Amino acid sequence: MEPLFSIPISRRDFMKLAGLTMAGAALGGAVPEAEGAAAPTPKADFSQTELPVLLDVDVCVVGGGSAGTAAAVVAGRRGAKTVLVERNIALGGLSTQGCVYPCMPTFAYGSDTPYITDLNKRMEGQGIAPLLGVETPTFYGGGAGQYSPDYLSYTYDEMCAEAEVEILYNASLVGAIVEEGKIRSCIVQTVAGLGLINAKVFIDATGDALLSRFAGVPVEKGAEKTGRNQPMSLRFEMSGIDVQRAHRFFKEEFKDTWSLEQPSYFFEFAKWKKTEDFFKSGVKSGELTEDDILYIQAFAIIGKPGTMSMNCPELPPLRFSSTDALSLSRSVSFGMRMQRRLADFFVKHIKGFEKAQISRMASQVGVRESWRVKGKYYMTADDYFKARHFPGAVCRTAYPIDIHDVALDLQKKLKKGDYYEIPYDALVVNELSNLMVAGRCASGSFAAQASFRIQPTCMSMGEAAGIAAAWAIDHGIEVNALRWEDIPREQRSYVSEG
């Protein structure tokens, strides 16, 4: 049986930070757009336009990633008539279409909310773990999670069907109609043209706060000091790898015994130093560029023997921005060329990769951070460092502030056993009474988002949004007036221990 493991391939100019990285130096230069202040979102005024009403629902969730799918499934389970609008034809967002796997742990005990526990069970039920003989098939939550991305999309689709959620695949949000402090409708582009979705509550889980921006909610983007967003990556998979042979290669050439000894779901960064010269030799020979070796990493994938997920290439942050349309688009072509060079280099120089080839390219650019809303509560690094708890908390995490590229004085990790909580008010906004925001675009500073952006936390935020939306509708309360603590304990997905 082939072992599952990760190859900590390379690092350059990154400081090791307790298993995570932070760039050592603030880089000069400018991203190709105005820095700092959020650029206004171009809007078309549809309020006087006759558009067909596609759906009239209780809850409209836009974006079917980790956060949005959780929100829709839970709202549906709680009896709300729910639609989930997704521009792709598979759910999961970055966690499936962005090839971002495995899932990171929260490092906080007791962080698994009921939705995550349920998802864990369903994924184990797919028979993936027995197939690979993995003893600890932790999927999500407190432990780092290995999963098969395609099974995750199937599972999400099934969960939506069970919860009677209407999924509107292949539909892109293109606008919103706001009336009297509420979103009345969102406008979607489908194969049939433009259409309206009317709802009582809207949940923005687009990752880019797009619905919020269309509705005029204040947003932020990038680091406070530089205005630069976190760097993006364009991830890919390679198949046909003799994983054991590759593992031996790293063990023998670089004395990397560490990852061999770890359980299959574990991965680590600490030994990268040892592989640095190896990749630099590729730059010297002209096979690779300096950009190509900025950040290289690979993980085995559960359910896909002989295939590895490449957490690279990282797109040069001074050249590409996740909040500029042309730049984002150009980064795809640039990233594809980087992928080809890296893959060729792996095949030529890493034993075990001789017959390997690229077998999948992400269909969603790996955007770590773009726009974040400024909600009723605005999370900051202080919440993290003070391990702040809230009576109205919806989940907990201790995942570090994981910033690529920008140097900030944020290297301290929480004490073992400490965690901070995310308050309900970080999911609602002052300006609109029926809008909720969940996932990586929830309300918080650049540094705060660098911690709460990981998949399990996005899920728990989405779950809470789904519960609150259904509860608010049932009780005739506006979501931004609701207090999470007023929902009976047994109906909440998370109750703060204070």
Ligand X SMILES: Cc1cc2nc3c(=O)[nH]c(=O)nc-3n(C[C@H](O)[C@H](O)[C@H](O)COP(=O)(O)OP(=O)(O)OC[C@H]3O[C@@H](n4cnc5c(N)ncnc54)[C@H](O)[C@@H]3O)c2cc1C
Site for ligand X contains 62 (CB under 6 A): yes
* Cross-strand bridge partners of residue 20: 17
Residue from 41, 51, 150, 172 binding ligand X (CB under 6 A): 172
Collapsing DSSP states into helix, strand and coil, what is residue 342?
helix
Q: Which stretch binds ligand X (CB under 6 A): 18-26, 52-60, 63-71, 389-397?
A: 63-71
Using the minimum distance from each CB to ligand X, give the nearer residue, 153 or 275: 153
**Two structure tokens written together for 16:** 């090791």
Whether residue 313 has a cis bond before it, omega within 30° of 0: yes
d(CA 228, CA 369): 10
Site for ligand X contains 152 (CB under 6 A): no
Using the minimum distance from each CB to ligand X, give the nearer residue, 14 or 249: 14
Residue from 4, 10, 38, 68 binding ligand X (CB under 6 A): 68
Using the minimum distance from each CB to ligand X, give the nearer residue, 68 or 352: 68
d(CA 66, CA 71): 9
Site for ligand X contains 84 (CB under 6 A): no
d(CA 458, CA 119): 14
d(CA 495, CA 393): 7
Site for ligand X contains 111 (CB under 6 A): no
Site for ligand X contains 205 (CB under 6 A): yes
Site for ligand X contains 159 (CB under 6 A): no
Of 268, 287, 235, nearest in space to 96 by CA = 235
**For residues 288 and 279, is the Cβ–Cβ distance under 8 A?**
yes
Contacting ligand X within 20-39 (CB under 6 A): none
Q: Which stretch binds ligand X (CB under 6 A): 80-88, 194-202, 219-227, 370-378?
A: 80-88
Contacting ligand X within 231-270 (CB under 6 A): 233, 235
Q: How many CB atoms lie within 10 A of CB 41?
A: 16
Residue from 93, 149, 317, 375 binding ligand X (CB under 6 A): 93
Q: Which stretch binds ligand X (CB under 6 A): 1-9, 10-18, 87-95, 124-132?
A: 87-95
String marking each residue 215-234 x if it binds ligand X according to CB under 6 A:
------------------x-
Cα–Cα distances (Å) from 390 to 337, 445, 488, in that order, read 47, 18, 16
Mention every residue, 6+ apart, whose C-beta is less than 8 A from residue 4. Answer: 132, 134, 146, 243, 264, 265, 300, 301, 302
Task: Enumerate binding residues for ligand X (CB under 6 A).
Answer: 62-68, 85-88, 93-95, 98, 100, 103-104, 172-173, 205-208, 210, 233, 235, 364, 366-368, 439-440, 453-455, 458
